[in-house]
Chains A and B, each alone.
Chain A
Amino acid sequence: DAGITQSPRHKVTETGTPVTLRCHQTENHRYMYWYRQDPGHGLRLIHYSYGVKDTDKGEVSDGYSVSRSKTEDFLLTLESATSSQTSVYFCAISRTDQNTGELFFGEGSRLTVL
């Protein structure tokens, strides 16, 4: 158990509304990630963080923003949700040993945008 909690686990919202997903870790790891998973695309990186207030974009960052004000929390915000953002979102932390890195995932947040 990597001590990763995502909330909410399920959310249905309407197009144009803002949505925030939260990822909380209990192990004080520096690197945290947000991925989305869609059929046929696998896991795609949205944003990641390498420390408090240090974040960077992934391959599918358009329409998303993130914040990390504390080591343990990494927030993903959809400023104005669109139907194309319907997906399952996974938070992950990286445990780095000898530069190999290994990802540990939360249980996912299923978002439906109507």
Chain B
Amino acid sequence: TQLLEQSPQFLSIQEGENLTVYCNSSSVFSSLQWYRQEPGEGPVLLVTVVTGGEVKKLKRLTFQFGDARKDSSLHITAAQTGDTGLYLCAGADNYGQNFVFGPGTRLSVLP
């Protein structure tokens, strides 16, 4: 069974600080995705990384896929209160149709 772990589980920081959250597995995935979920809503896709070592940037968010395609990190620069939410990573199998989710990192950015 493929499992994804995320750390930290909870993170509370002040606006303007930088942070990194991690997604780790012992399994190899064909792609890995990051989602953000706000209370009362469904998860929303932020990014998909496919190639080992790949780095993608989305404004203040930087996503990296590990060289071995087993882990990923999400770095937020100068966090804003609007970044508050639950961040989920998900690994996809070779066909891109079966997904395993991590338990999430709950981020709170304080004004």
- A and B found bound together: yes
Binding site for B on A (CB under 8 A): 31, 33, 35, 40-45, 48, 50, 59, 90, 92, 94, 96, 98-108
Q: Tell whether B109 is near chain A: CB-to-CB under 8 Å.
A: no
Contact: A99 with B30, CB < 8 Å? yes
Per DSSP, chain B at the interface is loop
Residue pair B96, A99 in contact (C-beta under 8 Å): yes
Question: Are B99 and A96 in contact (CB-based, < 8 A)?
Answer: no
CB contacts between A and B, total, < 8 Å: 64
Minimum C-beta distance from A74 to chain B (A): 15
| Interface residue SS majority, chain A | strand
Number of B interface residues in the complex (CB < 8 A): 26
Q: Which residues of B contact A92 (CB under 8 A)?
A: 42
Contacting pair B96 A94 (CB below 8 A): yes
A43 to B48, CA, bound (A): 18
